[in-house]
A and B are shown apart, each in its own frame.
Chain A
Amino acid sequence: MPEYRLRTPLSEEDVRKLRVGDIVYLSGIIYTARDAAHKRILEYLKEGKTLPFDLKDGAIFHCGPVAIKRDDKWAIVAAGPTTSTRMEMYEYDVIEKLGVRMIIGKGGMGSRTAEACKKYGAVYVTFTGGAGVLAAQSIKRVLEVYWLDLGIPEAVWVFEVEDFGPLVVAIDSTGRNLTEEVVREAIARKERLLSKT
């Protein structure tokens, strides 16, 4: 499996060269966003309001961290990915309208996201679900937090990360979708397993 070390801001060329199964270690700045933040981002765009952050050529992390304030500074204790499927209904528009290049999550995403990745040049990568402490090791600093009124898990946290990974490319810009391929093979295997018994 080829390995890449990338840094934000990401270029279209950076992400177009990635293929399903490749490993990425990401450095730079990432923004967390779960359901509530995605919903608000799209509401802002619909109403023509300016977002307080710029996601162009950036990376979104599906994550709701465990965060505590120590000496008036936020510290991240655990910050693994959350189930990405919940964001499927928003992600096409977010990639199209904001120019996001990388979505980081877990559990796989659907065909609309894959379509946006192909059309606009983006990738969906996964980090090991549940590995919240390991993820927190790569987070060097909390640069900012927006929309805390949504609650700690749903707010938009801006993290400075160093070699965040291993991230596995699960949807590339050619239209391939790893978790869907695995599921299709599983369906075929199930038929064989049941016909044997």
Chain B
Amino acid sequence: MSLEEAMVKAVVEAITRASIYLPPDVKQALQRAYEEETSPAAKAQLQAILKNIELAEKLKAPICQDTGLITFYVRVGARFPAIRNIEDALIKATREATKSVPLRPNSVDPISGRKPGDNTGRYVPIVIWDGVNSERDTLEITVVPKGGGSEYVTTFNIIPPGKGLEGVKELVLDTVIKAGAMPCPPVIIGVGIGGTADFAMYLAKKAATVRKIGTKHPDPTIAKFEEDLLRMVNELGIGAMGMGGKASTALAVHVDYAYRHPATYAVAIAFQCWAARRATVTIKPDGSYFVEQ
């Protein structure tokens, strides 16, 4: 098997794992929400969610019928021998996984309405080149099958810089209320502060979809802000699936930031539904690989 063929195989396996099995941190957080939730309507929803996770694993079926727009975060080791073949391998793997998992054929041309039927198209799958490691010879790809419901309520905002973190807090609460039941709570909320518009959204999306639940932000001010926000978001009482409940609106609030321009204070707020699917595959130069969740 050539390295390129091995890359396709490895990525198909990562997409498959991500689509069928939830990462352990997400499963634990959902179990905890189920135990802590006191509202019967929200608890019933969480019970259905846990049952669904079990069934998906047993039947090897995708957890949710919305198998998402396939998104790849790619970190390249400078000494990885097949850099030029990466993009091709990602497209091939997406096509193959669409048939083998199977995934729902989601990609649509926004202009003509054309549906290729294989989850590819202009700029799709979405490939985010997420850094080069000058020391390594491995390729690391994180697959995120990003569902549509939680994209629907994701927002980008510029707030007056004078409002600062207090402004961010109010905006997050307002956005969570406006989102209501739509993003399939319990959600993971990603908040990206500062930078440019696109970079704030990149930080928010990564915080919502890639960062593991239970990890702490290295900056103690941000770590405390995340904890406070999570408590407040849950006190809003939207609950699992918007049925009302005090312990299942959000599983986590993840914040990240970049230094900002003096005139702007960008705040991107991204939502990830409870089916927070992700898997990371590491591929070595000899074509061997391992998948982690």
Contact = CB atoms under 8 A, between A and B. Distances in A.
B38 to A, nearest CB: 14
A190 B174 contact: yes
A182 B242 contact: yes
Q: How large is the interface on B (under 10, 10 to 19, 20 to 34, 35 or more residues)?
A: 35 or more
B132 interface: no
Interface in A80-119: 80, 82-83, 85, 106-108
A131 B52 contact: yes
Nearest to A85: B182
B104 interface: yes
Given A1-B40, A179-B242, A183-B177, A136 B104 contact: no
A185 interface: yes
B37 interface: no
A110 to B, nearest CB: 11
A108 B180 CA distance: 8
A78 interface: yes
Interface stretch (B57-65, B135-143, B200-208): B57-65
Interface string A148-178: 0001110000000000001010000000001
Contacts of A189: 235-237
Name the 6 nearest CB pairs between A and B, nearest first: A129-B184, A132-B65, A78-B65, A131-B52, A128-B48, A107-B182
16 contacts: A64-B65, A65-B65, A66-B65, A77-B102, A82-B148, A83-B148, A107-B242, A126-B243, A129-B184, A129-B273, A130-B147, A132-B52, A151-B115, A152-B105, A182-B180, A183-B177
Interface of B: 40-41, 44-45, 48-49, 51-52, 55-56, 59, 61-67, 102-106, 108, 115, 117, 147-149, 152, 169-170, 173-174, 176-177, 180-182, 184, 232, 235-239, 241-244, 273-275
Interface of A: 1, 21, 23, 63-66, 68, 77-80, 82-83, 85, 106-108, 126, 128-137, 151-153, 166, 168, 178-179, 181-183, 185-187, 189-190, 193-194, 197
